[in-house]
Homo-oligomer: A and B are copies of this chain.
C-alpha cells in the first residue's frame, strides 16, 4: 500500500527540507500552504514553485483569514517586524508569534489527511532555533500527537495519523546539510520577513538562515541586500 503524507509547505527552507525527507522515506506527498493574511505573498508563490520542483502529488493553498482576530506582527501592517540581535533570538516569545498558528495549520492538515486516508502529517518545525515559540516545542508536538490519537475516525479505527517533525531537534546547519544531500531546491525557498525582491539579510529569519549556511559551509544561493559581517561564503 502506498504511504501518503500531508506536508505543510510554507515557502521557507525548513518545510522544503522536511518534505524532501518525507519523499526520501517513501511517502507520496500532498503539500499544503496557507493563505492566512500574512504580510507578503511571496512565500505562497515560493511554496507553489517548491511543490512543482519536488513533483508532489498535489499542492493546495488553503485560505484562512486569521487577520480578523489580529494579534501578530506577521499580519498587522501597522506593526513593524522587529530587528532582534542574533544572540537574543529565542530568549522570549517574539512579536512575530501568531496565536495558535501551528495548531490551526496542523489541525487542518489532520482533517485533510483523514479525507486522503493518509498516514502522516509532516511539519518542518524546529525547536532549537525557534525555542521562543510555544508551538515549536517537543512537548507541544507530543500533546498534538495525543490529540490526533483520539480526534479522528481513522484514530478510532486504530490508524491515527502520525505527526512527523523530522527537523525538530536539528540545528539550522544540520537542516541545511540534510537538504543539500537530498538536493532540496534551496534557491526557491524564502525566509526573509520582508517581502522584497532580495532578502534583507537583517531580519531574525535572514540571520538564522545565513548563520545556518555559514555553519554548514554551504553558500546560500539566494541574493541578499546586505550580508552580516560574519558571513564568509560566496555572496550572490
Contact = CB atoms under 8 A, between A and B. Distances in A.
Contacts of A137: 150
Interface string A54-86: 000000101111101111000000000000000
Interface of A: 60, 62-66, 68-71, 93, 97, 99-104, 107-108, 110-112, 114-115, 134-135, 137, 139-140, 143-144, 146-147, 149-153, 155-156
A134 B115 CA distance: 15
Q: How many copies does the complex hold?
A: 2
Nearest to A153: B93
A65 B71 CA distance: 22
Nearest to A63: B65
Contacts of A146: 143, 146-147
Given A100-B107, A134-B156, A69 B112 contact: yes
A236 to B, nearest CB: 36
A93 B114 CA distance: 14
A93 B107 CA distance: 20
A62 B68 contact: yes
Contacts of A134: 150-153, 155-156
A150 B156 contact: no
Nearest to A72: B115
A189 B115 CA distance: 30
Contact of A151 (B66, B70, B71, B103): B103
B104 A108 contact: yes
Give the most central of A66, A97, A115: most B CB within 10 Å: A115
A112 B110 CA distance: 20
A56 to B, nearest CB: 16
Contacts of A139: 150
22 contacts: A60-B68, A64-B64, A97-B153, A99-B110, A101-B111, A103-B110, A104-B104, A104-B107, A104-B111, A107-B107, A134-B150, A134-B151, A134-B152, A134-B153, A134-B156, A135-B152, A139-B150, A140-B147, A140-B150, A140-B151, A143-B146, A146-B146
